[in-house]
Structure 1
Amino acid sequence: MSRRSPRGVFRLLAGLTAALTLGALLTPAASADPAKLVITASVDSGVRLVGKPFPITVTVHNASAEALTAITLYTDQNSGSYLSFDGWGDFGYPGATLAPDETRNLTLNATVYTWGGGSPELDITSTSIPSWDVQPAHLSVPFVDPTTTTGTLHGVVYGDRDGDNAFDPGEGLAGAPVRIYGETTLETVAGPDGTFTFADLPARYYQLFSTTLPDGWLLAETNGGFGVTGGDQDVEVRAVRPLSDQLQATASVDRDTYAPGDQAQVTFTLTNTGSQPLSGISGNCDRIGGSQYQLTGWQSWTDLVYPASLTFSPGETRTFTETGTVPPLADQYGGFAVDCDFGPELGNPDSNPEVRLWARVPGAPGTTSGSIYHDDNKNFTQDPGEAIGDTAVSLVDIISGSTTATGTTDADGYVTFASVPAGRYELKADGWVPADAGGFQVQAGTCQSCVWEWSQVYTRG
């Protein structure tokens, strides 16, 4: 065993003292003062499901005697599944200012979209001021584990004929397609009484897809869904009749032809054909937006479009005359469109009666071409053997109803129509009809999109 001399021990202690002193100078001391920014957070009691949003209540308090500026919040994920937020309100960038002793409350919508092996553990904190001046909020949110818990969903799709918001015998919609989405999309078809079953579902929240129901019925909730927590669960999927069953809408223009820049007068007629009054009705036009062929100026029709709020007694008809401007490139399309629907502002647009008006603006002819096929495997792609070949086809003017051009598809279902007057046409195929219930229209002219080739599905008719 070695022995140190007294002088060596002294030198060693002196070196350690110097090192400790230097370390103290280089390391900032934690503040002994109370935190300036105090964050607390809470969730309601209960267990959460993957895929289902839930609220988190957050309180942010300035406990100091000075204003705190540009305060932003963020999450520090500790473990478990990742928790997503839809925004931070005032505490997103560039941040909020808190006066001395001011407290702000906000509600965050949070969702675990994908199970990460455990319930989320996280802190809600801020880096806007030094960390020792922040008291973060810690959250531990319990979730049902979808890898160990399953359930079976028993349901019925029904048309609420009597409007009592409940399933009654005889209201089941036979053959209704039902699609739900969790990690993947699952599909089934309702039986003769409208019932369906999804068995052995991992516990989580499932979104109900909007589907085409029999006889024009529509889902009452377009963003509905179901939570599967384990065991057997019963659900009812309510469908309603579209507003277009009761409210009818038509439109007409004041001239046969127009030129770009002309003023066009449009007369709308709306009729309540039902036995119940209607209220809160307004128009919405050009929902897609950005097109070069829509009549402009419809936003000024404030007696008809939102924020208008119209009422209709049973049997009442109301007429509205509006003025718009023909767009500058309308002649390249051979016309302009007035596309509007009418219903409650927050209602389902698919339920609303529509006006799809096309008015003529003469323009230079163009060439249009494309193919038609029968999509036997319903993959929205023309596969070998699906072409509708050697078939007579024609273009029918949607305004006059006259046949403008004829042709015959080749072996691949392809056809070209040359030098067609600018405008819109229905494509008729001998022995076939468009698979889309709304039909299929061809756009001819010199517009940029007019030269794009089309591909359309037809069925035997």
Structure 2
Amino acid sequence: MSGRAVRFAVLTTVALLAFGTTPALAQDEPTTTTPPVVTTSSTPPSSEPAPPPAQPQVLSTKDSLTGVLYADRNANTVQDAGEALSGVVVTAFTVRVANSPKTTTNANGEFVFRDLEPGVYQPLYELADGWVVHHDSSRDYVIEVTADNTTRVTARAERPYRERLSVTGSLDRESYHYPSSATTTVTITNISDRRISGIEGACNTNFSGIGLGPQRWPGLWGSGVALEPGEQRTFTAVAQLPERSRREGRVTLDCQFVPNYGFNKDGPTLHDEAVVTSDNGGYTMVVGEDRNANSRIDADEAVQGAEVVLLQPQTGKQIAMRTSGADGKIEFVDLPVGDYDAVVRGSWAFQDTSRVQITQPAGSGHRILKRAVPAELKASLKFGKPRYEVHETISVELTITNVGGQPAEHVQVAPFSALEVSGEQFGDLRRDGPGVRIPAGESRTVSVSGKIRQLWDDKLTVIAEIYHAGTSGYFTSLNEVEIVQTTGDIIGVVYTDKNRNGQMDPGEGAVRAELELGGGTPLRGYGGSTDDNGRFHYKGIPSGYYSINYTLADGWAVHLDGDKPRFRVEPGKPVELVARAERPFRESLKATVVLDKSTYQAGDIAKITVTLTNTSDREIRGVQAGCNRNAELNQLGGRMGFTPMPEGWGDLRPGTEGVTLASGETRTIVATEKVPAKALESRAVAVACDFAPNPVHNTDGPSGYDWASVPGRFGAVDVLLAHDVNKNLRVDPGEAVPNTRIALMTDREYGAVVADAVTDANGRAYLDQVPPGEYWAWIDGPWKFEDPNNAYVRVGADAKIQGWFGVVPGQAPAPPGTADGEQVATGGTSGGMRVALAKTGASVLGLAFLGVLLVAAGVAMSRHGRTGARSAHALPEASVALDSKKS
């Protein structure tokens, strides 16, 4: 294997172990303080009288990995007489081979591995009586073996941390009503007679859907907590109940507390759980065959694998689907209370009633099944005539036949994609209707008609998508029917109603207004502009539905009173359009939006005070709010185009009559809405709205914005700063850069500082309490990134990013006191980095708190009137390029 290949393999493996995102409370400072005295009577395997001294092993020229293993009985961190562990099996674990090599320690605790392939290995020790080899970092957790060299290891065994630490704690309640927060309290006691440092907590490390965490424990993060002998400390943490806990009816807390949890797993654990209730209910059903006709289901009559679907009786919409287990049991949980139709999929059917009632608390019952041939639908389509002109109304007859053995329940037909057919024409068969029941062997026929919506290659193909209870859909298409193309004309005028009299007067024609016309059969787009009199003319365009957009100079806007108008072009008389433009609503309306608090918890009810003022001399009717146009999950006001505005917004909701303002009038409306759980991740909740009559289409109204913090989750960055002099893609002795500040900034040039730290003597810096987000690292010293893009860091919630920043010598920072009161630091990246500071002389560190607020505001405003320059080299959240030579 070449040296380059070896380095790549080493880097890849170490990246998996040391550069990953550590869940929950990430590992911390190595526990290199004076270790605690062992307080247990347990002894290591070599407690019998020591054998005669053995001769030290002589290394051969092919010795690859050697080491010594000892039990540090007196906790002085060095090997003393009688502490060697003999007869212990040691494995040089590697993922590259199925059976990793093993050896055994001799009387001096020594072990040797010969002729190992170059690569990365993890020594594993099979110790008895609970002794554990602890690890301070990845450097003693995984070992690199290189060709023609011998790697030496010293393994110090200690008593497990569960014998030296005691932990108690619990959730604050025995039951919760979803949605709500749970408060956890934990008390940690050092029961040894030596100081223990770097203690951290890791919760829900198996990522259970009902577990709290991974979460940050205040005080058990960053460098962890240190406890003196006998010292006891209590910590609390607040977390939202996970959504799955609502469905399963319980929430769990499972944590372990240990120094450097990333490599040590022998700390004391904490478990607690509580009941979770909600406004929903459930039902438990047992299904089986009544073979002995005793009107019940005996143990040997249960049916496994039966799929039961619950449907809304009014719409036929599928609410839930469950499969019976070996005991025939099916549990429907966390469903809205009410009555539902139940249907068995496949070769089974209910013998009697199929109605299920979801109640709170959950009910139960049994259902007897019988063998059945499932329903099977076939469909045929027939046109009214074999040939149509493109502008004509197309008539279609749809016949659905059940060729199966059981009735087809809740049969529905999806809208035709190729034709403009209203749902009402399908009657009960419409997709949002109750559906119809088609017994075995029977048919249902429906006739519908509509204009052509889509056309390909002058042929029309109508596809019917048919559903019935428990199926995902059935498709059929008929033979193509020929369509003859026809054309028509559009003539129109655009004018600016300068005197506001509602009609076009001389001199009001909109000159060179830009036009965007779209539609027709087949669908096409057309540009254009008005002439010197504001008029336009489209000749000979394909028949079909069209819509048009107008862009005028000087801010004039064509306002819409309802939905975006669609008009139909056909042969014969041209379509005539008149577009009246007005001044934008922002010139006649003023708006402010204010939240009632600066800080909320997720689930709190936020009060949003909206103040509207009509500054014009005319009445303005039907003012509504258009909020969250970017559909952000941490914003209030619904998600424009996705989620309707909540009812707490009253008359400001689109679709209502809106708010009427007389000339000069000011109105105040207080809207209410629950703070979304997603605000925890961004640590902020925001409201961003604009206001106008019909804001769905009129987007030129005044806007208002406010945000508040939501205490949430943090991340951290654990980094080494180094100059890779020999270019071997690792930090070797003498390459670390000590006593140098590293800062994370919200923007590469003008960002605010959100966290900073100074590297220690080993070049290590730990940046704690970092809000989730994207940042650029800045180096305060005569160093720079060889590639500025490698300064990019993405921090996730409840996660720690580990790695190293590779830097090269660069220009020292410029002194403070530049023009306009700015201080400029130029050593952060190649070419320099400008860090704008206040004229008051505030330091970079002093702006850290302000930086956190700016990050929260920036996340809340995400894409709302904001531009950013994210590097094209940005990496996924789970990994980050901290080394200038690593991609």
Q: Does 1:313 align with 2:662?
A: yes
* Partner SS for 2:699: helix
Shift of 1:90: 2.1
Change (3 A) 1:117 1:369: same
Change (3 A) 1:171 1:367: same
Q: Is the 8 A contact 1:49 1:203 kept in 2?
A: no
Q: 2: CA distance between counterparts of 1:173 and 1:141? A: 44
What does residue 535 of structure 2 align with? 195
Q: 2: CA distance between counterparts of 1:127 and 1:277? A: 50
Q: Does 1:158 align with 2:495?
A: yes
Shift of 1:319: 1.6
1:222-261 matches, within 5 Å, as 223-225=564-566, 227-229=568-570, 233=574, 235-241=576-582, 242-254=584-596, 257-258=598-599, 260-261=601-602
Deviations, residues 36-87 of structure 1 (Å, cap 9, x unaligned): xxx99999xx97538xxx6969899xxxxxx9986667999xxxx9646465
Once the two structures are overlaid, the 10-residue window that deviates more, 221-230 or 293-302, is 293-302
Q: Does 1:356 align with 2:705?
A: yes
Q: 1: CA distance between counterparts of 2:651 and 2:453? A: 42
1:133-172 matches, within 5 Å, as 145-146=485-486, 149=487, 153-161=490-498, 166-172=503-509
Shift of 1:337: 1.3
* Partner SS for 1:192: coil
Q: Is the 8 A contact 1:72 1:91 kept in 2?
A: yes
Q: 2: CA distance between counterparts of 1:330 and 1:157? A: 45
Q: 2: CA distance between counterparts of 1:191 and 1:162? A: 21
What does residue 213 of structure 1 align with? 552
Q: Is the 8 A contact 1:178 1:209 kept in 2?
A: yes
Instruction: Name the TM-score, length of structure 2 as normaliser.
Output: 0.30
Q: 2: CA distance between counterparts of 1:142 and 1:237? A: 35
Q: 1:440 aligns with which of 839, 860, 866?
A: 866
Instruction: Name the TM-score, length of structure 1 as normaliser.
Output: 0.51
Once the two structures are overlaid, the 10-residue window that deviates more, 160-169 or 212-221, is 160-169
Shift of 1:425: 10
Q: Is the 8 A contact 1:89 1:106 kept in 2?
A: no
* Partner SS for 2:506: coil
What does residue 430 of structure 1 align with? none
* Partner SS for 2:527: strand
Q: 2: CA distance between counterparts of 1:310 and 1:84? A: 34
* Partner SS for 1:113: coil
What does residue 204 of structure 1 align with? 543
Q: Is the 8 A contact 2:633 2:678 kept in 1?
A: no
Change (3 A) 1:123 1:214: closer
Q: 2: CA distance between counterparts of 1:362 and 1:354? A: 27
Amino acid at match of 1:258: T
Shift of 1:338: 1.2
Q: 2:615 aligns with which of 263, 270, 273?
A: 273
Q: Is the 8 A contact 1:260 1:329 kept in 2?
A: no
Deviations, residues 259-310 of structure 1 (Å, cap 9, x unaligned): 5447655332112223333444444544554512448998353545335743
Q: 2: CA distance between counterparts of 1:267 and 1:352? A: 17
Amino acid at match of 1:269: T
Q: 2:518 aligns with which of 150, 161, 181?
A: 181
Q: Is the 8 A contact 1:203 1:227 kept in 2?
A: no
Deviations, residues 162-220 of structure 1 (Å, cap 9, x unaligned): 55655433222223111112443221222333233445x44323623435432333334
Shift of 1:232: 8.6
* Partner SS for 2:646: helix
* Partner SS for 2:652: coil
Q: Is the 8 A contact 1:48 1:142 kept in 2?
A: no
* Partner SS for 1:350: coil
1:88-103 matches, within 5 Å, as 88-92=426-430, 95-96=435-436
What does residue 122 of structure 2 align with? none
Q: 2: CA distance between counterparts of 1:403 and 1:212? A: 42
Q: Is the 8 A contact 2:493 2:577 kept in 1?
A: yes
Shift of 1:238: 0.6
Change (3 A) 1:185 1:318: same
* Equivalenced residues, count: 341
Structure number, greater radius of gyration: 2
Deviations, residues 230-265 of structure 1 (Å, cap 9, x unaligned): 58946334133344443322123455x425447655
Deviations, residues 363-411 of structure 1 (Å, cap 9, x unaligned): 979544589xxxxxxxxxxxxxxxxxxxxxxxxxxxxxx9999899xxx
Q: Is the 8 A contact 1:271 1:318 kept in 2?
A: yes
Q: Is the 8 A contact 2:614 2:662 kept in 1?
A: yes
Q: Which has the higher contact order (CA 8 A, sep 6+)?
A: 1
Q: 1: CA distance between counterparts of 2:463 and 2:645? A: 49
* Partner SS for 1:355: strand
Deviations, residues 333-376 of structure 1 (Å, cap 9, x unaligned): 464311234444686341444322234568979544589xxxxx
What does residue 117 of structure 1 align with? 458
Q: 1: CA distance between counterparts of 2:747 and 2:587? A: 37
Q: Is the 8 A contact 1:75 1:123 kept in 2?
A: no
Change (3 A) 1:288 1:277: same
Q: 2: CA distance between counterparts of 1:406 and 1:210? A: 47
Q: 2: CA distance between counterparts of 1:320 and 1:173? A: 37
Q: 1: CA distance between counterparts of 2:461 and 2:635? A: 53
Q: 2: CA distance between counterparts of 1:330 and 1:179? A: 39
Cα RMSD (Å) of the superposition? 6.0
* Partner SS for 2:549: coil
What does residue 49 of structure 1 align with? 391
Change (3 A) 1:337 1:173: same
Q: 1: CA distance between counterparts of 2:637 and 2:517? A: 39
**Percent pairwise identity:** 24
Change (3 A) 1:426 1:159: farther
Change (3 A) 1:197 1:367: farther
1:356-435 matches, within 5 Å, as 356-359=705-708, 367-368=745-746, 420-423=851-854
Q: Does 1:292 align with 2:634?
A: yes
Change (3 A) 1:293 1:272: closer
Change (3 A) 1:293 1:407: farther
Q: 2: CA distance between counterparts of 1:415 and 1:152? A: 59
Q: 2: CA distance between counterparts of 1:188 and 1:414? A: 47
Change (3 A) 1:414 1:341: farther
Amino acid at match of 1:299: P
Unmatched 5+ stretches in structure 1: 1-38, 61-66, 129-137, 372-401, 428-435, 453-461
Change (3 A) 1:298 1:207: closer
* Partner SS for 1:189: coil
Change (3 A) 1:104 1:114: closer
Amino acid at match of 1:339: A
Once the two structures are overlaid, the 10-residue window that deviates more, 326-335 or 183-192, is 326-335
Deviations, residues 401-436 of structure 1 (Å, cap 9, x unaligned): x9999899xxxx998989853536999xxxxxxxx9
Change (3 A) 1:336 1:152: same
Q: Is the 8 A contact 1:285 1:338 kept in 2?
A: yes
Q: 2: CA distance between counterparts of 1:75 and 1:284? A: 29
Q: Is the 8 A contact 2:413 2:430 kept in 1?
A: yes
Q: 2: CA distance between counterparts of 1:82 and 1:288? A: 30
Q: Is the 8 A contact 2:627 2:636 kept in 1?
A: no
Q: 2: CA distance between counterparts of 1:74 and 1:265? A: 41
